[in-house]
A and B are shown apart, each in its own frame.
Chain A
């Protein structure tokens, strides 16, 4: 028995660094075994990466312009229109005059879709909201362009694949930018509230006693405040922006993890290896960080996807009610609101619904797979 493990394998420093601990290997294998979760993760990652590069995907500026031998990147640099012989402070690359000028002296490379989230399409053939371009024939589609069906701008890049909203803005472009801001907001809020929640839970669980008692009562009172009403009140005073909303929501969302982490620390602080660490003279902070936190991480990771989803839907809800991001920003909630106000244009509501439900489902599937991967009882089944 004693010699069972000895000498069977020799480890080196390098090997240790590369090697995932066996427990994590098992978890990874468990996660991969859940095909739905794995596929969801891949689909989500692809969508996320695409949305992160939204400016290269759908934008009202070309990705690359060659003008009089000079290579320009309008995505990153604001060139004044003077450069191309115009008079505006910011170049409108969609202007046929500018396009002609550039094409005469070089070339330009457009993104797949030539609209940004706030670009108003002035050439829509019917009153906004306009239906998706593929629902119209070429003649109708190009009716507002100067040269009709022969106009060089009546091309596939200028299609409104998912139609326009009631202000003539391209729905697909708004969707991509809206997806990005929703996911980023959700991730940032989840991360921040997890950090605060874990720290608070750790301190309460580890020290116990009065610290715990006072903190617990405070949290009980704090969670009794109706968050949504508070946001409504605050947003009538302040102009709600990304960070204002973030701060207000963070003030309430950090409590979600406190209970779980506190329980794990309360349980963990009586373990013998904690006593052993104390007997070694290890400081409290190190004990919490090195010995107790890893135990609490499983519970935390399990919760995180659901907090992420909660954050995203809160933002969507606020946008839907009109108390969210400032007017004009790309947001899924606003798209839903438009869909509700324009029932004659079903592409608005349907698009919003499909994208939001897809995003939330993907995240939940991923979360489910992560939770199962961390479930110790599942690993032997």
Chain B
């Protein structure tokens, strides 16, 4: 425990959170204690399911009571115990003395309210401001959070703003009443790296200017190191270690902290070798979605999701595609697999497949597989793992007997590091990392030649990410696979891809051998991307989107 001479602003003592009712109690947070001093940034760091968000939400009593309960503990804010305070007191504290920023900027703003209405609401509730006064204050706040042309933005609706702008509006709302404490629950996780860097910088500046304390919840150690004063490492509902950031990072005591710090994607991508045969090639690939207007639905313009891209993927090699969200990475991948229509030449093993019908593509599907991003969405919840993995076999090897199919499924599961005896269970019984392994097994059981990996590690925890990266690399070496690896996470790309294409707005910004691009980026955009990803640094205005 870190006991300061003066009393801390927020002090959580011996807090437990339980879910469920009756005899089915499930302890999500077990007797944690930490404190936040005035003007200090404390980071709660841990993997998904560690109880960090639940701890933060219980400070404001925002959990789904009565299915959640607190068997023990106190939350002292300025000397008042919030945990036992009534709703009326809580309403005065929420959004006024303690504010909160949530992870998902898409859903934390009301889609039917304009920016002005959203932000002014807090002012009206807690300060009883008049419309004109509130409007002035909203403008002030929007300027402070770095929204350009705040006057014109007042009447914008959330869908007209980018993700970064929405998060800025969220921040403006939380700052409206000059809170003493800001709770930020993974505020940048849903944002692109470049935007993340901007938002973090903004939060840091605002905090310094106002002397605000911040409780920062994140799974990203990079952010903690750069951003926080003190850190509490959580796992399994307990704080296993806490202390000043420098101390914890340089000299971690608890094995879990060490494990977390060591969990960076490591290893080397395959060696660049231009003499290997090309498995997949696309020339001048375009995916244009037409914008139709008027009564006759005349095409007036196009959304150029992929706009004239040439790529080559060689046997046993990995081509990484990086870019921000909306840059057309996934669209490109899907077009190459002929999952969506496109123009341009696509060839697979030398044969042109662009003109193939859906039926003609079916035999080829065996050799071209996909692993998707979301390990929860990519597996049918109503099928057992064995059925999920065996489905492709049913299509492409209809002659296999049930036993042979079962044997192949079991072998595929073991190859991706899962216990084959778990194959009769359902996806929800597995963790995120295990599910991603099941997805990989589903692709690998068909013994494909080319696999498109669409952000396969983005939804996973850091330590699991590293394991999946290792697994993918092992499989590639063993089966001499060609990978098309799509990711916005440059660290993972660096560990897997020997060639990289940087995309922006459907076009290639820069491409080449991965070491070249990572060590000596040529364009300003790539440089900004690297700086944001590896050092959380913002780029000069105009280089990246906001």
The answer for the CA separation of A10 and B410 in the assembled complex, in Å, is 13
Task: Name the residue among A11, A290, A294 with the largest chain B CB count within 10 angstroms.
Answer: A11
The answer for the CA separation of A7 and B419 in the assembled complex, in Å, is 7
Interface positions, chain B 432-491, Cβ under 8 Å from A, are: 433-434, 439, 442, 446, 461, 463-464, 467
Q: Which residue of A lies closest to B19 (CB)?
A: A380
Does any Cβ of A come within 8 Å of B372's Cβ? yes
Does any Cβ of B come within 8 Å of A269's Cβ? no
Q: Which residue of B lies closest to A2 (CB)?
A: B433
Task: Name the residue among B337, B382, B422, B446 with the largest chain A CB count within 10 angstroms.
Answer: B382
Does any Cβ of A come within 8 Å of B431's Cβ? yes
The answer for the CA separation of A290 and B388 in the assembled complex, in Å, is 11
Q: Are A291 and B47 in contact (CB under 8 A)?
A: no
Q: Are B424 and A280 in contact (CB under 8 A)?
A: no
Q: Are B339 and A279 in contact (CB under 8 A)?
A: yes
Does any Cβ of B come within 8 Å of A344's Cβ? no
Does any Cβ of A come within 8 Å of B522's Cβ? no
One digit per residue, 1 when the CB lies within 8 angstroms of any chain B CB and 0 when it does not, for chain A 238-275 equals 00000000000000000000000000000000011101
Q: Are B421 and A275 in contact (CB under 8 A)?
A: no
Does any Cβ of A come within 8 Å of B206's Cβ? no
Question: What are 8 pairs between A and B in contact, CB < 8 Å?
Answer: A5-B431, A16-B424, A273-B377, A273-B378, A273-B380, A279-B337, A279-B365, A294-B382
The answer for the CA separation of A290 and B461 in the assembled complex, in Å, is 31
The answer for the CA separation of A2 and B377 in the assembled complex, in Å, is 19
The 9 closest A-B pairs by CB, nearest first: A281-B365, A11-B424, A272-B377, A16-B424, A280-B392, A10-B421, A272-B378, A281-B362, A294-B382
CB distance from B469 to the nearest CB of A (A): 14
One digit per residue, 1 when the CB lies within 8 angstroms of any chain B CB and 0 when it does not, for chain A 7-31 equals 1011111011001011100000000
Task: Name the residue among A2, A9, A23, A275 with the largest chain B CB count within 10 angstroms.
Answer: A2
Q: Are B372 and A1 in contact (CB under 8 A)?
A: no
Which of chain A's residues have a CB closer than 8 A to the CB of B421?
Answer: 7, 9-11
The answer for the CA separation of A205 and B362 in the assembled complex, in Å, is 23
Q: Which residue of A5, A11, A278, A294 contacts B434 across the interface (Cβ within 8 Å)?
A: A5
The answer for the CA separation of A176 and B361 in the assembled complex, in Å, is 60
Q: Are A1 and B424 in contact (CB under 8 A)?
A: no
Which of chain A's residues have a CB closer than 8 A to the CB of B361?
Answer: 281
The answer for the CA separation of A206 and B464 in the assembled complex, in Å, is 35
Task: Name the residue among A1, A7, A294 with the largest chain B CB count within 10 angstroms.
Answer: A1
Which of chain B's residues have a CB closer than 8 A to the CB of A279?
Answer: 337, 339, 365, 368-370
The answer for the CA separation of A312 and B523 in the assembled complex, in Å, is 73
The answer for the CA separation of A23 and B380 in the assembled complex, in Å, is 13
The answer for the CA separation of A10 and B423 in the assembled complex, in Å, is 9
- Contacts A1-B464, A11-B422 given: A21-B392 contact, CB under 8 Å? no
Q: Are A276 and B378 in contact (CB under 8 A)?
A: yes
Which of chain B's residues have a CB closer than 8 A to the CB of A294?
Answer: 380, 382
Q: Could you list which residues of chain B lie within 8 angstroms of chain A, going by C-beta atoms?
A: 20, 47, 49, 67, 337, 339, 361-363, 365-366, 368-370, 372-374, 377-384, 386, 391-392, 395-396, 406, 418-419, 421-426, 428-431, 433-434, 439, 442, 446, 461, 463-464, 467
Q: Which residue of A2, A9, A12 contacts B467 across the interface (Cβ within 8 Å)?
A: A2
The answer for the CA separation of A370 and B431 in the assembled complex, in Å, is 30
Does any Cβ of B come within 8 Å of A156's Cβ? no
Q: Are B442 and A280 in contact (CB under 8 A)?
A: yes
CB distance from A64 to the nearest CB of B (A): 49
Which of chain A's residues have a CB closer than 8 A to the CB of B380?
Answer: 273, 277, 290-291, 294
Besides A9-B422, A16-B386, A281-B392, 14 other A-B contacts (C-beta < 8 A)? A1-B47, A2-B467, A5-B431, A12-B424, A13-B424, A272-B373, A272-B374, A279-B337, A279-B368, A280-B442, A281-B396, A286-B395, A291-B380, A291-B383
One digit per residue, 1 when the CB lies within 8 angstroms of any chain B CB and 0 when it does not, for chain A 195-234 equals 0000000000000000000000000000000000000000
Q: Are B372 and A276 in contact (CB under 8 A)?
A: yes
User: Which of the four size classes fits the interface of chain A?
Assistant: 35 or more
CB distance from A285 to the nearest CB of B (A): 12
Q: Which residue of B365, B377, B395, B423 contacts A11 across the interface (Cβ within 8 Å)?
A: B423
CB distance from A179 to the nearest CB of B (A): 36
Does any Cβ of B come within 8 Å of A71's Cβ? no
CB distance from B369 to the nearest CB of A (A): 7
Q: Are A21 and B426 in contact (CB under 8 A)?
A: yes
Which of chain B's residues have a CB closer than 8 A to the CB of A5?
Answer: 422, 425, 429-431, 434
Q: Which residue of A lies closest to B371 (CB)?
A: A276
Q: Are B433 and A1 in contact (CB under 8 A)?
A: yes
Does any Cβ of B come within 8 Å of A282's Cβ? yes
The answer for the CA separation of A139 and B446 in the assembled complex, in Å, is 87
Q: Are A276 and B382 in contact (CB under 8 A)?
A: no
Q: Are B422 and A276 in contact (CB under 8 A)?
A: no
Q: Are A15 and B378 in contact (CB under 8 A)?
A: no
Q: Which residue of B lies closest to A270 (CB)?
A: B377
Q: Are A2 and B431 in contact (CB under 8 A)?
A: yes
The answer for the CA separation of A272 and B455 in the assembled complex, in Å, is 13
Q: Are A276 and B365 in contact (CB under 8 A)?
A: no
Which of chain A's residues have a CB closer than 8 A to the CB of B395?
Answer: 280-283, 286
CB distance from B32 to the nearest CB of A (A): 19
Which of chain B's residues have a CB closer than 8 A to the CB of A15?
Answer: 424
Q: Which residue of A lies closest to B380 (CB)?
A: A273
Q: Which residue of B lies closest to A293 (CB)?
A: B382
Q: Which residue of B lies closest to A21 (CB)?
A: B426
Q: Which residue of A lies closest to B377 (CB)?
A: A272
Which of chain B's residues have a CB closer than 8 A to the CB of A281?
Answer: 361-363, 365-366, 392, 395-396
Which of chain B's residues have a CB closer than 8 A to the CB of A237?
Answer: none
The answer for the CA separation of A298 and B344 in the assembled complex, in Å, is 43
Does any Cβ of B come within 8 Å of A89's Cβ? no
Which of chain B's residues have a CB closer than 8 A to the CB of A13?
Answer: 406, 424
Q: Are A290 and B383 in contact (CB under 8 A)?
A: yes
The answer for the CA separation of A97 and B374 in the assembled complex, in Å, is 82
